[in-house]
Amino acid sequence: MKKGFVLITLAVLCTALCFSQATTLTRKLVNGKYGFGYPSLTKKDGNGYPLIEALVIPARYDETSNVTFADEFEGLAGVKLDGKWGFIDATGATKIPFKYDDAGYFHESLALVAQNGKYGFINKSGATLVPLKYEEAHTYESGLAYVELAGKSGFINKSGVVIIPLKYDKQTDAAYKKCAHCGSLYSFEKGKAVVILNGKCGIIDTKGIFAECAEEAVDSSTFTGVVNGAKNHWGTNPGAAIKGSCESKMDIKQITLNGKDITGLISYENKMMYIGFSRLKAGDKVAIKIVHKKGVSFQLFGDQGFDLK
């Protein structure tokens, strides 16, 4: 599923899970397939969530776009069956046929769908209201949807009319990290949206007036040392655990090993990152540099096979 689906879905799903899970059909995984049932009002699973004991909709789906049938999703759920996506209602009845390669969830009466690598929008009757022609798209917010075409991005209304010209840079993962401090990307909130124009982060209003966003202040932390070749439970491969005060990887702008960018290879969870390498040998000098949001800090939590400081 595309990142845009995931990012926006997670924000809405948190609300659905936290506040309405006990009264609405909720997804459950059984033997690798998903179904839906009503959570118990008294029993909880090992993670503290209400236990789903009986399924109303059988576990037969490979994936779902919604975790629940909460009101936010307008009575339908996107589900994947035999490699194709369609939509079902709370009885399990198919409302929109299984013919799409990808699908989001309904919001503002429209859902994002894809066929043959192209994205568009359908209504709850399954009619295509915005042609499937975009290279990327994201769910409607405040009546506008982010779209990409011919390597540029802009915003369209629910009729598919371009409201914000498709002249802005694509919002890649790197761009998301660079401009996230300006506000939410991919969607309008309170009449404003973050865009990128010729590499510069900015904010536009619904009239398309662009104002550059100030660059986020950054700092760096560097750890240096030598590979000692000592054996550890990974063999002789060196590894380092580094603890930071920032809440997520979004505050980490770049990580390099001896000047080589390794940002995409690092995970960051619970304020802890692990950096492991397999191509270093005893005697190799090491410099790990972390460029991060100003005001956060990092400290070496543990290393194996390194003499770091």
**Shared domain check, 168 and 36:** no
* Same domain flag for 164 and 96: no
In this structure, the answer to whether residues 49 and 131 fall within a common structural domain is yes
23 and 90 in a single domain? The answer is: yes
Tell me the helix, strand and coil percentages in the chain, rounded to 5: 10, 50, 35
Domain that holds residue 22: 1-139
Give the total number of structural domains in the chain. Answer: 3
* Separation in Å, CA 279 to CA 101, 212, 223, 227, 275: 39, 42, 18, 11, 13
Whether pTM exceeds 0.75 = no
**Alpha-carbon torsion angle 147, 149, 152, 158, nearest 10:** -30
Instruction: Label residue 175 left, alpha or beta by phi (over 0 means left) and psi (-120 to 50 means alpha).
Output: alpha
119-147 pLDDT, tens per residue?
A: 999 999 999 999 999 999 999 988 999 99
Same domain, 232 and 273: yes
Over residues 26-36, the pLDDT tens digits come to 999 999 999 99
Domain end among 139, 160, 187: 139
Residue type, 240: A
Work out the percent of the chain whose per-residue pLDDT is above 70. 88
pLDDT greater than 70 at residue 308 = no
Contact 234, 280 (CB under 8 A): no
Among left, alpha and beta (phi > 0; psi -120 to 50; other), residue 124 is: alpha
Same domain for 200 and 226, yes or no, is: no
Residues 2 and 83 in one domain: yes
Same domain assignment for residues 132 and 77: yes
Strands (E), 65-173: 77-81, 84-88, 94-100, 102-103, 111-115, 118-122, 128-134, 136-137, 145-149, 152-156, 162-169
Q: Are residues 246 and 132 in the same domain?
A: no
Same-domain check for residues 5 and 86: yes
Alpha-carbon gap, residue 209 to 186, rounded angstroms? 17
Whether 126 and 2 share a structural domain: yes
Task: Decide which of 216, 231, 263 is a domain's last residue.
Answer: 216
